Structure 1
């Protein structure tokens, strides 16, 4: 049993054959964030992107969820498909993915962690800033909250239509119950002590112009992991997978290809 009823979880699925790829979005987003990746993966992979509990079309959690709860819910999504998954996590989704890899290593074939962080619990200041977002959302409402925060997720050179799409996705996805639970899970988390326990081969990517978590946080992740490659995505902000999808997808597909071939040779 998990802390969240999977019957209330909305999943976007594409592709029919090939290895499973599970996509976990950031704290202000939804499954819609992975449209550029699901299209690129569809020919040779089965892709599942979730609306996290309390986001977009997924039901609100009945109780506050910890990072372990999110990881366990993701594990059940994978387990229900009778296989293991290549897990792609952006920002908060990357934090969930890393915890998933330490709690359920048998379900994780590889990780791709983009523009992420060890968590907001690495300092009292970061934890307080994360918790402060919740009353801000409650006061402003989803639309004004998204208008204020959304543009910073991209580089200053991002095209206006992409900025609008990111803002609209956030406005349509966030609600206080789900966002509050996600923010608290981040505020309580510091992954630095458990990174060495991750056994899955991991690709760490970060937008060159990430103004939210920044390359420094991704470097901490890459430095703490054993089987890792670290890539800077040029001309991209915090949402590198959406701002530079061709470059992002090229690295992702290469990583999946290398992992799959390596496992085949060992098998």
Structure 2
């Protein structure tokens, strides 16, 4: 479905995939080279316990192109609009760039964020001039090579060296079908401009930080920096996973997310049967 995100600054229409009819709301925000398709394992498993919503960010995959450039605040405000449209608050799961958006969302709209799961992310690429320049250069790379070649070059780096070939193919195909200009350029600029280090201590929502043990994109140190700066946080390394831990090790990843939701949303230990119903805990 496509829904309007009534954000505070620059609302944008976004396509979302949804699964589950009861329980707490879990909003999934994908990485800069992906889409809602990246959360297929979470939509399938977590929806037994929660209402799971995964967006295609503005200008990605099935979402229309935004009318103009978007800042990190604009992405956060659009995500806030999706939460408001569903009532209450959400447990926000952000991967990589999606994690940066999730953290900014928690600072700008603390009343809408019940808890956070930030996976394979960082405080932003604006923490170092070299990282910011490399992030901005990606838009030119996409323009020069096109989505298919761009994805073929970048996709395999996002998983561990031991990842199965079918996963690599899925990651590349998802990227090729998700990224385009100008949306990717707007996202890259939002990431290049982001340095959340000063505001991380103001995040009040309970935070679970997950990072693939073999993540060489953002890396373990960046995840540790996030966890160390937020007061109510836990940090977990996901074995045998690269940058896309939620896709490479979905069983382990989902188990940690469910453990987090049992604490923060009081979901049951096991999925309800057809005779049972989850009580929303927002």
Task: Give the TM-score range, shorter chain.
Answer: over 0.9
The gaps in structure 2 that reach 5 residues or longer are: 1-5, 268-278
Structure 2: distance between partners of 1:169 and 1:183: 18
Residue correspondence of structure 1 range 1-267 to structure 2 within 5 A: 2=7, 3-6=9-12, 8-261=13-266
Checking the alignment, whether the CA contact within 8 Å between 2:11 and 2:77 is kept in structure 1 is no
Structure 2: distance between partners of 1:231 and 1:60: 36
SS in 1 for 2:86: coil
Structure 2: distance between partners of 1:189 and 1:176: 20
TM superposition score normalised by structure 1: 0.96
Structural RMSD (CA) = 1.4
Checking the alignment, whether the CA contact within 8 Å between 2:72 and 2:191 is kept in structure 1 is yes
Structure 2: distance between partners of 1:85 and 1:58: 21
SS in 2 for 1:261: coil
Q: Render the CA deviation track for 1:156-189: whole Å, top value 9, x for unaligned.
A: 0000000000000000000011100000000101
Checking the alignment, whether the CA contact within 8 Å between 2:10 and 2:77 is kept in structure 1 is no
1:211 deviates by: 1.2
Q: Render the CA deviation track for 1:81-124: whole Å, top value 9, x for unaligned.
A: 11100000000000000000000000000000000000000011
TM superposition score normalised by structure 2: 0.91
Checking the alignment, whether the CA contact within 8 Å between 1:4 and 1:61 is kept in structure 2 is no
Checking the alignment, whether the CA contact within 8 Å between 1:4 and 1:53 is kept in structure 2 is no
Moved over 6 A (4+): none
1:4 deviates by: 4.4
Structure 1: distance between partners of 2:134 and 2:47: 38
SS in 1 for 2:116: strand
Structure 2: distance between partners of 1:59 and 1:25: 16
SS in 1 for 2:266: helix
More helix by share: 1
1:261 deviates by: 3.3
Checking the alignment, whether the CA contact within 8 Å between 1:4 and 1:62 is kept in structure 2 is no
Structure 1: distance between partners of 2:164 and 2:222: 26
1:5 deviates by: 4.4
SS in 2 for 1:17: coil
The gaps in structure 1 that reach 5 residues or longer are: none
SS in 2 for 1:236: coil
